[in-house]
Amino acid sequence: MALLEIIGIRKRYDGVCALDDVSMRLEAGEVHCLAGENGSGKSTLIKTLAGVIHPDSGQILLDGRVLPPLRPPDARRLGIQVIFQESSLFPQLSVAENLAMGGARLSGFVNWRVIRRLAREALAKLEVEIDLDQPVAGLSTANKQVVAIGRALLQQTRVLIMDEPTAALTGRDVEVLFSVVRRLKESGVAILFVSHRLDEMLRISDRFSFLRGGRLVATGPAADFDHAAITRHLTGQDPSPPPPRGGPRNDDPLLRVRSLRGAIVQDASFDLAAGEIVGITGLRGAGQAELALLLSGARARTGGEVLLAGASLPNGDLPATLAAGIAYVPEDRLTEGLALDQSLAFNLASATLSSFGGWGGLVRGTDIAAHAQHWLNDLGVRAPSPKLPVRALSGGNQQRVALGKWLCTRPRVLILNGPTVGVDVGSKRAIHDRLRALASQGLAVLLISDDLTELAESCQRVLVMHQGRIADTLIGDGWNDRTLAAQLNQLR
């Protein structure tokens, strides 16, 4: 008998079928990976199990018994704990209180001694040490995840559901999380693990289930699926082969960076030629983001020089740098890249708004609409109308809009930071294809990423940063994502 079983779950939103007759089983002591692109119905399924939303029809069985319609506290009481992608923590409250928050009763008095004891026990179970009195806002992303898991474990947990737990984690942090997951698995907890990252899914999961368009398209033991099969089930198409990796370019470089210093970046020098895609990676906080900010003029450099086609760029002047032809697509599209409540059309026009100025500085709405339609087609954004707010789109489509916003400045150098973080496999491929096409037309691309597969598939060269310096440059065919991972591990 399966620990948790769902049978024939259906859920419609405004006539759109989010879940269509989905059935699956979850055994005690297994790590089950639920895979699917954005909009495939994963989130709806998780929310159904958490009691946040109610299915139109179908049943949920725990230990073979049919459960009544659930509310979140009911699900938790039954031992179904969900750790959501956007954290469910309380940033202002202390680690101890966040951990103890699970038993949400609202009558009675708080006993801080009991709270601290519970919190210590929870962290001891996970074998991690975190200062209990610290506000959660001050924790690293990995430790926030640990607190969220610890909170779930403080209650009796039989099914632990994790939505994209590794999305914001890098390298060692993922290992910490996985060792916790394995420990839970050994203690007989059923774990439903949702992730976009194929490598991680293959490493941790016992079974796979694939959702596409609200339907369960495949399910089976992890050994039955390889990379190609996973991509096929996710997208419904076969994966495209990576393009051949070019050697180092001998052309006259378009961008020359000489002894660049500023923030934590120290003495960075490299060249970037037109048509080249160069990756930048390193441990978290090694200076990749700062390098991008310095190059884009968002931050003033304290030393060194940046030359674009031989001309020196002004220091710390983003508008001038953009006008000169260097565009920067920031890492966090939600807070830095896009105005989420504004329309697609406005967002696409916002980087070049002055070019839409008509008589008396008024904006010509028809031009903006035409411009938007052109770029939406060009980028393959599926949206019913350019008047929709960006918020209404999936992560992948949002990222394409962010890319489009900067592409229409007609840059000569494009700097991207984590362009496919939190993006589904289909959109990811579309973005990569697009970057390659742009590069072949002569754009120089600087790709900052933690996704080593992405770097291996897209880049001709990769610069490895460490403690603010460019520690190594990988050229030619002598490296791949595995050697790069090993190299990064040695830097720790």
Partner 1 sequence: MIMRHPNRRHEAVLSAVLLVLALFIGLINPGFFSAEAAFDLLRSSTVIGLFALGVLVALVAGGIDVSLPAIAAFCLYTTALFGGAFGVADHPVLALGLAGLTGAVLGTMNAFFIHQFALPPLIVTLGTASLIRGGLLAFVGTRIVTDLPESMAAFSHPAAFAGSGPGGAPVGGLVVSFLMFAMAAAGVAFLLGRTTLGRGIHALGGAPESARRMGLPIARLRFIAHGLAGFLAGLAGLAHASQMRNANPFDLVGTELTVIAAVVLGGASVAGGRGTVTGTVLGVLILVLVETGLVIVGLSSQWHKVVLGGILLLSVATTVRRVSRAAWREGMA
Q: Toward partner 1, which CB reaches closer, 289 or 403?
A: 289
Selected binder of partner 1 within 14, 15, 105, 250 (CB under 8 A):
105
* Shortest Å, Cβ 357 to partner 1: 33
Give me the 30-69 binding string for partner 1, x by CB under 8 A, dash otherwise. Answer: --------------------xxx-----------------
* Shortest Å, Cβ 107 to partner 1: 7
- Our finding on whether 490 is near partner 1 (CB under 8 A) is no
**Cβ–Cβ under 8 Å, residues 147 and 98:** yes
φ, ψ of residue 292 in degrees (nearest 5): -65, -40
Listed residue (74, 337, 39, 61) closest to 214, CA to CA: 39
Selected binder of partner 1 within 104, 113, 244, 319 (CB under 8 A):
104
Q: Which residues pair with 212 in a beta bridge?
A: 215
Q: Which residues pair with 261 in a beta bridge?
A: 303
State how far the Cα of 394 lies from the Cα of 46, in Å rounded to an integer.
Answer: 17
Residues 157-216 that bind partner 1 (CB under 8 A): none
**Mapped to the 3 state alphabet, what secondary structure does 275-288 carry?**
CCEEEEEECCCCCH
Tell me which stretch binds partner 1 (CB under 8 A): 37-45, 76-84, 157-165, 321-329.
76-84
Selected binder of partner 1 within 57, 66, 91, 228 (CB under 8 A):
91
Tell me the two tokens of residue 315: 């220091």
- Our finding on whether 263 is near partner 1 (CB under 8 A) is no
Tell me which stretch binds partner 1 (CB under 8 A): 101-109, 319-327, 404-412, 477-485.
101-109
* Shortest Å, Cβ 285 to partner 1: 6
Tell me which stretch binds partner 1 (CB under 8 A): 108-116, 292-300, 395-403, 424-432.
108-116
Selected binder of partner 1 within 1, 16, 107, 186 (CB under 8 A):
107
Residues 111-140 that bind partner 1 (CB under 8 A): 131, 133-135, 137-140
CA dihedral (131, 135, 136, 139) in degrees, to 10, reads -60
Q: Toward partner 1, which CB reaches closer, 116 or 461?
A: 116
- Strand order in 461-466's β-sheet? 326-329, 413-417, 444-448, 277-282, 461-466, 469-475
- Our finding on whether 441 is near partner 1 (CB under 8 A) is no
3-state SS, residue 219: strand
Selected binder of partner 1 within 65, 68, 86, 477 (CB under 8 A):
86
Tell me which stretch binds partner 1 (CB under 8 A): 94-102, 163-171, 239-247, 292-300.
94-102
State how far the Cα of 289 lies from the Cα of 359, in Å rounded to an integer.
Answer: 40
Tell me the two tokens of residue 431: 């973005």
Residues 278-317 that bind partner 1 (CB under 8 A): 285
Buried/exposed 369-383: b ≥16 CB within 10 Å, e otherwise: bebbeebbeebebeb
**Cβ–Cβ under 8 Å, residues 386 and 366:** no
State how far the Cα of 365 lies from the Cα of 57, in Å rounded to an integer.
Answer: 45
Q: Which residues contact 319 (CB under 8 A, 6 or more apart)?
A: 297
| CA distance to 107, 180, 195, per residue, from 165 (Å) | 32, 12, 7
- Our finding on whether 489 is near partner 1 (CB under 8 A) is no
Selected binder of partner 1 within 39, 102, 165, 282 (CB under 8 A):
102
* Shortest Å, Cβ 47 to partner 1: 9
Selected binder of partner 1 within 29, 72, 243, 316 (CB under 8 A):
72
Q: Toward partner 1, which CB reaches closer, 57 or 134?
A: 134
State how far the Cα of 449 lies from the Cα of 419, in Å rounded to an integer.
Answer: 8
- Our finding on whether 223 is near partner 1 (CB under 8 A) is no
State how far the Cα of 58 lies from the Cα of 219, in Å rounded to an integer.
Answer: 19
- Our finding on whether 226 is near partner 1 (CB under 8 A) is no
The residue ranges that bind partner 1 (CB under 8 A) are 50-52, 71-73, 76, 82, 84, 86-93, 97, 101-102, 104-110, 131, 133-135, 137-140, 143, 285
